[in-house]
Chain A
Amino acid sequence: MRRYAPRFVALAYLLIILVGPLAMVFRRAFDNGAAHIWTTLSNGDTVHAFEITVLIAAIGVPLNTVFGIVCALVVVRKRFPLKGLVNAFVDLPLALSPVVVGLALFLLYGRDGWFGGWLNAHGIQMLFALPSMVLATVFVSVPFVAREVVPTLREIGDEQEQAARTLGASGWQTFWRITLPSIRWAVIYGVVLTTARCLGEYGAVAIVSGRISGQTETATLRVEDAYSSFDTSGAYAISLVLAAMAVVVLIAMTFLKPKEAAAA
Chain B
Amino acid sequence: MIWESRRHGADTFWSAVTDPEAVAALELTLGAAALVTLVNAVLGTVTAFVLVRDGFRGKSIVNAVIDLPFALPTIVAGLTLLALYGPQSPVGVNLTGSTDTWTLRLAICLALLFVTLPFVVRTVQPVLHELDTEMEEAARSLGAGEPAVFRRIVLPTILPGVLSGVALSFARAVGEIGAIVLISGNLPFKTEMASVFVFTKIEAGDKTSASAVAVVLLAISFVTLLGIGGIRRLATRHERA
Contact = CB atoms under 8 A, between A and B. Distances in A.
A263 B130 CA distance: 11
A124 interface: no
Nearest to A103: B214
B68 A236 contact: no
* Chain B at the A interface: SS class: helix
Interface string B87-121: 01011000000000000000000100110010000
Contacts of B225: 88, 91-92, 95
B70 interface: yes
A206 B182 CA distance: 13
Given A95-B225, A264-B52, A103 B1 contact: yes
Contacts of A221: 75
Contacts of B91: 20
B70 A193 contact: yes
Given A206-B199, A224-B181, A94 B171 contact: yes
Contacts, number: 223
B217 A100 contact: yes
Given A100-B198, A264-B125, A224 B75 contact: yes
A200 B86 CA distance: 22
A223 B72 contact: no
A203 B199 contact: yes
B217 A24 contact: no
A97 interface: yes
Contacts of A88: 225-226, 229
Contact of B79 (A17, A25, A263): A25
Interface of A: 6-7, 9-11, 13-14, 17-22, 24-25, 27-28, 84, 87-88, 91-92, 94-100, 102-104, 106-108, 193, 196-197, 199-203, 206-207, 219-221, 223-224, 227, 235-236, 239, 242-243, 246-247, 249-251, 253-254, 260-261, 263-264
